Chain A
C-alpha cells in the first residue's frame, strides 16, 4: 500500500490531535460503562464520579430480568442478517449484470439508483405502512426485512457495482478463452475477487439495519418483535428513567458489535475506498 503523508507535520501535533480525537469519539463510551455499573443512588450524586465508588451488576441484572432486552437483541440480529442475505442475494447478480452486460435500460437503471437515494424513509413511511398492512405484513419481521431491503438495496447495488467495475475484464476473458463457461468464471474467478466487496457491502448493510429506528417503530408494535433501537427507546421513554439500566442496555447493544469490530474494520475501510458512500 502506498501511503501518502498528507501533512508531514510535527509528530507532537499529530499525537495531540490523536488524543483529542480519541477523547471525543471514545470518552462517551467510558461514561456509558461507568454509569452502567453504578449503584442507582450514586448516579445522581454531585459531583459525579468517573469510577463507580461501588461497582454493581444490579443494572445488568435488572435489564435481563425485567425487560425483554435479550429478545430485542435477538430480533435485531435476525432482521439485520436476513436483510443482508436478501440484499446481497439480489444485488450481487444485479450489480454484476450492470457492469458486464448490455441491455436496454441499463444506464437508466444506474441513474434510478441514484434517484432513489433521495427518498428518505420518512417520505415513504406512510404509504409503506399502508402497503404492508394491505399485504398482512404489518407487525411481522418479514415486513420489516422487506422495508430494510428496499432502503439498503440502492446502496448495496451501488457499492457492489463499483467493486465489480474494478475487477478487470481481462481475467474473465482469459478464463473463458481457457474454456471455462460464464458461470464457472463467475463462481471461481470473479466472486473470490469480489468477496471483499461483498463483505464490505454486507457490513454496511448490517450497520444500516442495526441502527434503523423509524421503520421498526412504525411497522412493529408487538413487544416480542421489537428490535433493539425501538426497545431501547421504549425503555428510555418508560415511566421511570433508569439511567443505570439504560446504559447497561447500551452496553448490550455495543458488545456484539465491538466483538466483531476489529475484524470488520479493515473491510469497512476497503469498502469506502471503492468510492461508494452512504450514511
Chain B
C-alpha cells in the first residue's frame, strides 16, 4: 500500500511498482557494481552474524563438547541419534507444537476479530486501537511477570475475581501442571494478538467499499459479506502473518523460560527451545544443544515447505 503522501495517485503506477523492476533497463557495468556495492554491507553482516553461526552450530553438532571448555571429541551423528531417541526431546517437540498451534489459532482469531471491531467507526475508536496495541510494545519479561502476578494462585486478582463471581470454588493453580500451558498460551496471545490486529487492520482499510456495497445489493448479510468479501481479501496478509507467527511461536524461548523462572511446573511447558537451552547451559552439552537446534530448523523448513505447497499466494511474496 503506497504511503499516503506519495506524489502522484495510487491508481496507475501502483501496479507497475508492485512488480519491482518492470522495465528492462540497459545493463551498465557501473550500475551493476553500484547495486552490488549497496548491498555489500548488508550481505557481509548477514554472512558474519547469521550464516557463520549457523554453519558453526551445525559443525559443533557433530562433536561432544562441553559448553564452556574447549575440549571436544568428534562423534559424527552420535548426538543426533541420542537426541532422536531421547523421550524428553519428543516430549518437548510435542509441547512446543501444542504451544505454537494454540497460540497462533487464538492470536489470529482474536486479532482478526479485534481488527474488524476497530475498523468500524465509533467514538473513541482511536483510543481503543491504541490500547489494543499496548501489549505488543512491552518486553516479554514484563508481560510474563505481570501475568504471573495476576495469575498467582493464592494472591492473584484473577482467582479472586473468579471465586468472587462464583465461577470456581477453589483457586486455580495457574502455574501448576494442569494449567500452566493455558497460562503460557494466554500470555502469548495477549502479547502478540495486537500484531495481527495491525496487519489485518491495514489490509481491511484498503478493501474497496464498492465490493461490500455490491455484495449487500446482492442480498448478502454481514456474515456472508465477511466470508465472501473480507476473507479472500485477507488471504495474502493472513498467509504471511500465519507463516511468521508460526516460526516465531515454535522457536519462542523467552516466554516459556520466564514463566518457569521463579516457580512454575517446568516439565509441563518445557518446549523444544527451552529444552535446547537447558541442554546447552544447564547440562553444558553444547554438541547436543547444537544438534537439537539443527533438528529444530529442519522441522521448520519441512513445515514451511509444506505450508507453501498448500497455501502459497503469489501476491504475498
Contact = CB atoms under 8 A, between A and B. Distances in A.
Chains A and B share a contact (CB less than 8 Å): yes
A147 interface: yes
B273 interface: yes
B39 interface: yes
Contacts of B230: 4, 6-7
Interface string B86-117: 00000000000000000000000000011011
Given A4-B204, A122-B276, A26 B39 contact: no
A98 interface: yes
B245 A279 contact: yes
A112 B46 contact: yes
A134 to B, nearest CB: 10
A56 interface: no
A241 to B, nearest CB: 7
A97 B40 CA distance: 10
B117 A94 contact: no
B209 A5 contact: yes
Contacts of B222: 7-9
Contacts of A150: 45-46, 49-50
Nearest to A111: B317
Interface string A133-145: 0000000000000
Nearest to A47: B160
Interface string A77-120: 00000000000011101101111111110100100101011111
A31 B146 contact: yes
B311 to A, nearest CB: 15
Interface stretch (B51-59, B75-83, B176-184): B51-59
Contacts of A270: 1, 3-4, 202
A37 interface: no
Given A147-B49, A150-B50, A247-B149, A48 B39 contact: no
Interface in B8-27: 8, 13-14, 16-18, 20-23, 25, 27
B201 A269 contact: yes
Contacts of A232: 139, 141-142, 145
Interface in A205-250: 207, 210-214, 228-230, 232-233, 236-237, 241, 243, 246-247, 249-250
Given A14-B122, A241-B262, A257-B137, A169 B16 contact: yes
A26 B41 CA distance: 41
Given A48-B155, A101-B31, A2 B240 contact: no
Contact of B138 (A116, A169, A211): A211
B46 A101 contact: no
Contacts of A196: 3, 5
A107 to B, nearest CB: 10
A205 to B, nearest CB: 13
A214 B198 CA distance: 26
B133 A3 contact: no
A48 to B, nearest CB: 5
Nearest to B315: A275
Contacts of B273: 120, 122
A263 B215 CA distance: 37
A31 B156 CA distance: 10
Given A229-B139, A233-B258, A237-B261, A31 B157 contact: yes
B237 interface: yes
A46 B155 CA distance: 7
Contacts of B286: 126
A2 B7 contact: no
Interface string A177-204: 0000000000000000110110000000
Interface in B207-224: 207-209, 211-212, 216, 222-223
Interface of B: 1-8, 13-14, 16-18, 20-23, 25, 27, 31-36, 38-39, 41-43, 45-46, 49-54, 56-57, 60, 67, 113-114, 116-122, 124-125, 128-142, 145-147, 149-150, 155, 157, 160, 164, 190, 192, 194-195, 198-199, 201-209, 211-212, 216, 222-223, 225-226, 229-230, 236-237, 240-241, 244-245, 247-248, 251-254, 258, 261-262, 273, 276-277, 280, 286, 289-290, 293-294, 296-297, 300-301, 304, 316-317
**6 shortest A-B CB distances, which residue pairs?**
A101-B35, A273-B202, A120-B251, A150-B49, A168-B13, A97-B38
Given A25-B194, A123-B293, A265-B133, 19 more contacts: A2-B209, A6-B119, A21-B117, A25-B132, A28-B190, A48-B155, A89-B41, A93-B41, A118-B304, A119-B54, A124-B293, A130-B56, A153-B50, A169-B16, A268-B133, A270-B1, A272-B198, A272-B202, A279-B244
11 contacts: A8-B212, A31-B149, A126-B57, A153-B45, A166-B2, A214-B254, A258-B134, A262-B130, A269-B198, A277-B244, A278-B248
